[in-house]
C-alpha cells in the first residue's frame, strides 16, 4: 500500500474550483471521478470563494460581500487577538460552516464510502497571506505575528476538515491550493523562498493524513519536491516537460510520492484540438523521460493520478467545456489503466 493510504494507479481526481451555478450538478460531476472532491463554486456565492472560505473567524478580517472584497486591518487584528486565542481550542473556530460553504456540506450528505479516496482542499497560507492586504495595501504575510497566526489557523482548519472527511471515507485527505506560490521566487516579493521553506515545512509537519499541494503556477520545482509533501498536483499539460527534467522528481517517486498529472485542458480551443490518443502520447512522453532518469515505469504508473490541467471559470459555454474535459479524463484514465493492467 502506498504511503498515502491508497494506490493511485492512474485513477481520476480534479482540482476544487468549478464554474457551475447548480450545486447538485457540480457535486454529481465531482462524484463521477475515482477520487471525488467537494467543489468550490464562486459563481454561486462569494462565500464559496476559496480565499473567503478560509478566513471565517480570522482576527482582523471583515468580508465585504456587496463589493466582494476581503478587508484586513492590523489594529483590529491586535484588538481581536485575545478573543481569538480564547477560542483557539474550540473546533467551531475552524469548522467550515454551511454559511461559508453550503457545497461542502452537500458533499458530506452523499454516500462517499465506496470511493478509492475522497479529497478536500484549503487555500495555502502562503497564497492567502500574499493575496490579502492590510489597510496600507501591504500583504499580511509580511507581518510576522499575523503570519504566525495565519499558518497555525490554516493548519487547524485543514486538520478539522480532514477529520470530518474521514468520517465519510477512511482514505480521505486534504490538499493545499497554492496558486500564489510562484510569487515568492520573484525579486518583487518581500517574502522569499527561504522563509517560505521554513514556514511550509512547519505547516506540513503539523498536518494530519497525506500532505498534498496543488498549484497552476510555475515555482522552483525543487522547492516543492524536496518539501514534506506526499502528493503534488500541477498543470502537466503546460509544464510537464519542464518538471520531468528535475532530478528531484526521481527522488520524489522513490520516496513513494504521488503525482497528479493535470493533463486534460479545460479551455475550449485547447480541448477541441486534443484527443485521448494525443493526451495519452503526451503523458507517456513525460513518463519515458522519468524512465530514462532511472525511475521504473511501473512505479511511475502506480504513483500517478490523472486530472484536468486547470480550473476554468471563463468559458463562454459556462460549465459545458469543463464537463467535456471530465469525460475525456475518464476515458483517458480507462485507456491507460487497461493498457497497463490496472483495472
Summarize pLDDT for 317-338 with one digit per residue, the tens: 889 999 999 999 999 999 999 9
119: domain CATH number is 3.20.20.210
Cell numbers found for residue 237: 499539460
**What's the average model confidence in pLDDT over 192-219?**
91
Q: Calculate the alpha carbon distances from 254 to 146, 247, 316 in Å.
A: 37, 11, 43
Whether the CB-CB separation of 301 and 340 falls below 8 Å is answered with: yes
> Given a cut of 90, is residue 67 above it in pLDDT?
yes
Cell numbers found for residue 59: 482576527
Residue 154 maps to a domain:
yes
Model confidence at 186, pLDDT cuts 50, 70, 90, reads confident
Summarize pLDDT for 295-313 with one digit per residue, the tens: 999 999 999 999 999 988 8
Find, among 22, 13, 11, the residue nearest to 309 by Cα.
13
Q: How many domains does the chain have?
A: 1
pLDDT of residue 187: 67
Residue 5 maps to a domain:
no
Residue 4 maps to a domain:
no
Q: Calculate the alpha carbon distances from 275 to 99, 123, 161, 284, 340 in Å.
A: 40, 32, 37, 14, 19
pTM of the predicted structure, to 2 decimals: 0.95
Find, among 335, 250, 326, the residue nearest to 286 by Cα.
250
Residue 64 maps to a domain:
yes
Model confidence at 2, pLDDT cuts 50, 70, 90, reads low
Q: Which residues of 310-333 are buried (b: 16+ CB within 10 A; e: fewer)?
A: bbbeebeeebebbbbbbebbbebb
Farthest-apart Cα atoms in the chain, separation = 61
pLDDT of residue 77: 98
Q: What percent of the chain has a predicted confidence (pLDDT) above 70?
A: 99
> Given a cut of 70, is residue 171 above it in pLDDT?
yes
Residue 91 maps to a domain:
yes
Residue 6 maps to a domain:
no
**What's the average model confidence in pLDDT over 223-246?**
92
State the residue range of the domain holding 176.
Answer: 11-339
**What's the average model confidence in pLDDT over 20-30?**
97
Model confidence at 293, pLDDT cuts 50, 70, 90, reads very high
Residue 3 maps to a domain:
no
* Edge-to-edge strands, sheet with 231-234: 11-12, 304-308, 258-264, 231-234, 211-215, 173-177, 119-123
Whole-angstrom distance, CA of residue 264 vs CA of residue 284 = 14
Whole-angstrom distance, CA of residue 183 vs CA of residue 164 = 32
> Given a cut of 60, is residue 243 above it in pLDDT?
yes
Q: Where are the alpha helices (DSSP H) in the chain?
A: 23-30, 50-54, 74-86, 102-108, 125-131, 144-166, 193-205, 221-225, 236-243, 247-254, 268-273, 276-292, 297-302, 320-339
Residue 100 maps to a domain:
yes
Candidate from 77-86, 148-157, 234-243 with smallest mean pLDDT: 234-243
Amino acid at each position: 500500500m502506498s504511503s498515502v493510504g491508497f494506490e493511485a494507479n492512474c485513477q481520476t481526481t480534479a482540482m476544487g474550483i468549478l464554474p457551475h451555478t447548480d450545486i447538485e450538478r457540480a457535486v454529481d460531476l465531482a462524484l463521477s471521478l475515482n477520487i471525488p472532491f467537494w467543489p468550490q463554486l464562486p459563481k454561486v456565492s462569494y462565500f464559496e470563494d476559496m480565499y473567503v472560505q478560509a478566513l471565517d473567524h480570522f482576527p482582523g478580517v471583515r468580508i465585504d460581500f456587496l463589493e466582494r472584497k476581503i478587508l484586513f486591518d492590523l489594529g483590529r487584528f491586535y484588538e481581536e487577538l485575545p478573543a481569538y486565542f480564547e477560542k483557539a481550542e474550540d473546533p467551531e473556530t475552524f469548522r467550515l460552516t454551511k454559511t461559508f460553504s453550503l457545497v461542502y456540506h452537500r458533499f458530506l450528505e452523499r454516500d462517499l464510502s465506496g470511493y478509492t479516496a475522497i479529497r478536500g482542499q484549503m487555500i495555502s497560507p502562503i497564497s492567502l497571506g500574499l493575496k490579502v492586504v492590510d489597510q496600507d495595501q501591504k500583504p499580511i504575510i509580511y507581518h510576522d505575528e499575523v503570519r504566525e497566526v495565519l499558518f497555525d489557523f490554516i493548519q487547524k482548519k485543514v486538520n478539522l476538515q480532514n477529520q470530518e472527511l474521514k468520517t465519510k471515507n477512511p482514505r480521505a485527505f486534504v490538499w493545499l491550493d497554492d496558486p500564489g506560490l510562484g510569487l515568492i521566487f520573484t525579486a518583487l516579493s518581500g517574502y522569499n523562498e527561504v522563509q517560505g521553506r521554513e514556514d511550509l515545512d512547519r505547516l506540513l509537519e503539523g498536518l494530519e493524513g497525506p500532505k498534498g499541494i496543488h498549484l497552476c503556477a510555475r515555482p522552483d520545482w525543487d522547492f516543492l519536491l524536496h518539501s514534506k509533501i506526499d502528493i503534488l498536483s500541477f498543470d502537466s499539460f503546460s509544464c510537464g516537460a519542464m518538471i520531468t527534467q528535475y532530478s528531484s522528481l526521481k527522488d520524489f517517486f522513490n520516496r513513494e510520492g504521488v503525482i497528479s498529472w493535470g493533463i486534460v485542458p479545460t479551455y475550449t480551443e485547447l480541448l477541441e484540438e486534443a484527443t485521448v490518443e494525443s493526451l495519452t502520447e503526451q503523458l507517456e512522453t513525460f513518463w519515458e523521460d522519468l524512465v530514462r532518469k532511472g525511475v521504473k515505469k511501473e512505479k511511475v504508473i502506480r504513483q500517478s493520478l490523472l486530472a484536468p490541467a486547470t480550473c476554468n471559470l471563463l468559458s463562454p459555454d459556462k460549465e459545458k467545456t469543463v464537463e467535456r474535459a471530465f469525460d475525456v479524463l475518464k476515458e483517458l484514465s480507462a485507456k491507460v489503466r487497461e493498457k497497463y493492467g490496472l483495472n
